A and B are shown apart, each in its own frame.
Chain A
Amino acid sequence: MSKKERGETIWTSLDRKATAIAEFTMRQYRTRLSTWVVLGVGFLAISVVLLFYIDAMNTEIEAIDNDGDSVDWDGDGYVNGQEFKYGTDPLDIDSHPGLLDPSIEPEPASMYINEDDYDWDYSDASLISTGYDDDGDCRESQLLPSAQDGNSDGTPCNIILIYNAATDTYLIYADPNVDEDPDEDRYGKEAQHRAFILGVGKLGFVFLLSIFIPLFLATGLIRDEMTSGTMQYMTAKPIARGEIFLYRMLGYLAIVWPYLLVVCSILAIVSGFMGPGDQFFRFADLGVWFSILIAALLATLVYGMLFASLGVLWKYGIILALPIAAWELGMALLSMSVPDSSFLRMSIVGWSMSIIDSAAYLVWPDMDMFTAAGAWAGGSGEASIFFGTGNALPGYRALEWAQSDIGLGMGPYATTIVSMVVLLCQAAFFWFIGQLIFKSKEIV
């Protein structure tokens, strides 16, 4: 044969078939209005969340006086903080710094709000000594040295964080008045930023887009052609049905993957510029965005294979797809609250989300400490004398909702690799099942 003489192998001809069907499928999708409607609506949905994020980033979070020293209990014109500083009695109208010699002018209350922000340095030690008393109400107070070292670690006016590996939480032992009035805006924006990336990544990309786009685009990948009878043309060519299935899938991916890349990039760029912090662009976050992209790509691959197989299996494959989508929603929520649940191993979304969790762990190693700080809220998070009930910092709840630990019990790199391998195996499995069904289908 002349083909052999030209040094062509079965692989080059396979490659021709593959690109032919993939291009064909791509063009088919491009000419359908419904494809653009689905993709457009998906983009719109994600954009709505982005708009809320932009709004949140542009809105100053109202400062809260966590330690309550900006109020003036006795009404002498000097806020409590100033009275504490000069050692006068905050409950006595006749005792204030104005009576001292030299007389001290009253300071505005705003000086005593957010005046002692967090100065926490992250390290991965299990016992961290950190914190700095910015406003000096510990260092320069008239407290006894033993009282300044309330947590008895030998260093006055610091904070001790002890990591409890069993519960994966930090215990906070703070000396009095250290970092007790954090900056809500600074904390809240950072927390909302991280929560946004994780929340939109997990529920927006890996759940919403990755379920509904394959549901619309992949369920009919083979089935529609079989129903309309146009599959007759393709199955009459010397090409195995398993290949047709696979190459149609490639065409579908050639539409969906660039779309995800574009949407993900837009979000990464906008949030990179909008995000809080001194830097011009938050480059570190790109790691998390990249993991979100990878997770979404793999999820659309696996769901695509699954739904296309269901479509081949039964004319009403959509009925089977719906309970699966509901199960996946349940698993998505479960993975955000109990990331180490073994149910998650029987889902697609659970594996995808652990990729994002791993990346978040690498990019933001201080996440546990950061959430602990939000819950602690300068001491007022837990029961405190000023507020009575727990009062976490703004953004903490969102972060707590969106963030979860790596549930696989492995390191972040291992988790990423294992999850990706599992997802690829799931895709291969569904493809194998799908083409097996397709091959034994009679095409009437």
Chain B
Amino acid sequence: MIPDLAQEGAAVEKEWVPESQAPVVMFNNVGKTYGRYQAIGGISLALSGGVTGILGLNGAGKSTLFKLLMGKLRPTQGEVRLFGTNPWKNPAPYARVGYVPENENMHDWMTAFEFVSTFARLHGLTRDEAKNEAERVLEFVGLSDVMHKKIGRYSKGMRQRAKIAHALVNDPDLIILDEPLQGCDPLARTTIMNVIRELGRMGRTVLLSSHILSEIERITEQIVILHQGRLLAIGNLHAIREQLDNIPHTIEIECDDAKALARDVLNLEVVHGLQFPSSSKLKIFTHHLGEFHQRLPKIIVDNEHNVMAINNPDDDLQSILKYLTGGVR
């Protein structure tokens, strides 16, 4: 009687089987609008295997994309496929998915162990199986020493790891992590990044979102850049980076004697141009940011320049987006 209501169409009498040929995740011209606000407009995307980073500023539509995938939102246009199945009103494909929501609220009154084992049972595990699984995944994310403490007492990083553990409990083929590094300290970041890299090595399909490029950079080379609900770039990070390196980066240095510093810096072949906004400021243009940054310290120290500040106004997602959108925004 209940399985009848589970599916919108036919009753679930036999176990759900994914379509073998279908990509793990597929968006076909998917759009989502809230009232007059368009969160996502016509995205087409198919992903299978590997770790993929979804990059975008706040409000770019990353969470909306994930929520569409998890059947929490109904697309206003196009079709979403999870293992070849429409996830809206159909929880069957979630058997092979682990989802870590962005939401910081958790069941603070439970211990991590209870949390993970309870939700493991929703995958149809018995009590004992669920307990074993919970121990396994909590060990995997490195929470085994504190797993019998209330989640309410956890730090942010521990909470994120508990959330990841709960998503891994069914040994999923697809793991979706919505902003897994948000609000974590560097140590927790490293731990979580290692967990994600490990998952990638294990051959899982991992989707994670972030608005910080350097974070994603340390985990994966396969990225998708979203901007204002549209797809901006997709593919290998290096390839995209390559293209980005063809435009000059700007570095702003505040120092006592800008002219003297300019003389020393100009010797570097990576420097492409200079500008003096004021007597104590120097703007340097370069194609190879990384190399320049490796050389700069030596120049400063060798020539005893008194540097007040170094700014990289471009070295963030914002400037990449600026470049990709052709400076329109």
List residues of chain A with CB under 8 Å of any chain B CB. Answer: 1, 3, 10, 13-14, 16-17, 19-21, 23-24, 27-28, 31-32, 228-230, 232-243, 246, 435, 439-440, 442-444
Interface residues of A: mostly helix, strand, loop or mixed?
A: helix
Among B65-73, B190-198, B244-252, B255-263, the one that faces the other chain is B65-73
Nearest CB to that of B166 among chain A residues? Answer: A233
Pick the contact of B124 from A16, A230, A232, A235 — CB < 8 Å? Answer: A16
Among B96-104, B217-225, B268-276, B307-315, the one that faces the other chain is B96-104
Q: Are B72 and A237 in contact (CB under 8 A)?
A: no
**Can you list 7 A-B pairs with a CB-CB distance of less than 8 A?**
A20-B122, A229-B104, A236-B98, A237-B94, A240-B2, A242-B6, A439-B5
Residues on B with beta carbons closer than 8 Å to the beta carbon of A242: 2, 5-6
Measured CB to CB, the closest approach of chain A to B307, in angstroms, equals: 46
Q: Are B122 and A237 in contact (CB under 8 A)?
A: yes
Measured CB to CB, the closest approach of chain B to A1, in angstroms, equals: 7
Measured CB to CB, the closest approach of chain B to A278, in angstroms, equals: 52
Measured CB to CB, the closest approach of chain B to A31, in angstroms, equals: 4
Q: Which of B5-24 contact A (CB under 8 A)?
A: 5-6, 12-13, 15-16
Residues on B with beta carbons closer than 8 Å to the beta carbon of A20: 118-119, 121-122, 130
Q: Are B109 and A444 in contact (CB under 8 A)?
A: no
Residues on A with beta carbons closer than 8 Å to the beta carbon of B105: 228-230
Measured CB to CB, the closest approach of chain B to A224, in angstroms, equals: 11
Q: Which of B103-132 contact A (CB under 8 A)?
A: 103-107, 109-110, 114, 118-119, 121-127, 130
What are the interface flags for B46-77 relative to A under an 8 Å C-beta threshold, 1 for contact and 0 otherwise?
A: 00000000000000000000010011111000
Residues on B with beta carbons closer than 8 Å to the beta carbon of A237: 91, 94, 119, 122-123
Known: A20-B130, A27-B114, A232-B101. 19 other contacts (CB 8 A): A10-B12, A13-B124, A23-B118, A32-B109, A230-B106, A232-B72, A232-B103, A233-B101, A233-B107, A235-B71, A236-B97, A236-B99, A237-B123, A243-B2, A243-B6, A440-B89, A442-B67, A442-B72, A443-B67
Task: Indicate if B231 sits at the interface (CB-CB under 8 A).
Answer: no
Task: Indicate if B3 sits at the interface (CB-CB under 8 A).
Answer: yes
Task: Indicate if B95 sits at the interface (CB-CB under 8 A).
Answer: yes
Q: Are A16 and B126 in contact (CB under 8 A)?
A: yes
Residues on A with beta carbons closer than 8 Å to the beta carbon of B101: 229, 232-233, 236
- In angstroms, Cα B63 to Cα A311, docked, is 25
Pick the contact of B89 from A234, A236, A439 — CB < 8 Å? Answer: A439
Nearest CB to that of B106 among chain A residues? Answer: A230
Nearest CB to that of A20 among chain B residues? Answer: B121
Measured CB to CB, the closest approach of chain B to A312, in angstroms, equals: 14
How many inter-chain contacts with C-beta < 8 Å in the A-B complex? 106
Nearest CB to that of A3 among chain B residues? Answer: B124
Q: Are B125 and A16 in contact (CB under 8 A)?
A: yes
Residues on A with beta carbons closer than 8 Å to the beta carbon of B166: 233
Nearest CB to that of A232 among chain B residues? Answer: B101
Q: Are B109 and A238 in contact (CB under 8 A)?
A: no
- In angstroms, Cα B66 to Cα A443, docked, is 12
Q: Are B72 and A235 in contact (CB under 8 A)?
A: yes
With most chain A CB atoms within 10 A of its CB, the pick from B89, B124, B127 is B124
With most chain A CB atoms within 10 A of its CB, the pick from B93, B94, B121 is B121
Task: Indicate if B92 sits at the interface (CB-CB under 8 A).
Answer: yes
Nearest CB to that of B109 among chain A residues? Answer: A31
Q: Given A16-B125, A230-B107, are A236 and B70 neighbors across the interface (CB < 8 Å)?
A: yes
- In angstroms, Cα B110 to Cα A19, docked, is 17
Q: Are A17 and B121 in contact (CB under 8 A)?
A: yes
9 tightest A-B contacts by CB? A240-B6, A20-B121, A13-B124, A229-B103, A236-B99, A232-B101, A237-B122, A238-B95, A31-B109
Residues on A with beta carbons closer than 8 Å to the beta carbon of B73: 442-444
- In angstroms, Cα B72 to Cα A243, docked, is 16
Q: Which of B184-211 contact A (CB under 8 A)?
A: none
- In angstroms, Cα B108 to Cα A31, docked, is 10
Residues on B with beta carbons closer than 8 Å to the beta carbon of A14: 2
Q: Given A232-B103, A243-B6, are A1 and B15 neighbors across the interface (CB < 8 Å)?
A: yes
Q: Are B122 and A17 in contact (CB under 8 A)?
A: yes
Q: Are B94 and A238 in contact (CB under 8 A)?
A: yes
What are the interface flags for B217-244 relative to A under an 8 Å C-beta threshold, 1 for contact and 0 otherwise?
A: 0000000000000000000000000000
- In angstroms, Cα B116 to Cα A24, docked, is 11
Residues on B with beta carbons closer than 8 Å to the beta carbon of A243: 2, 6
Q: Are B107 and A28 in contact (CB under 8 A)?
A: yes
Q: Given A16-B124, A17-B124, A20-B122, are A238 and B3 neighbors across the interface (CB < 8 Å)?
A: no
- In angstroms, Cα B166 to Cα A31, docked, is 21
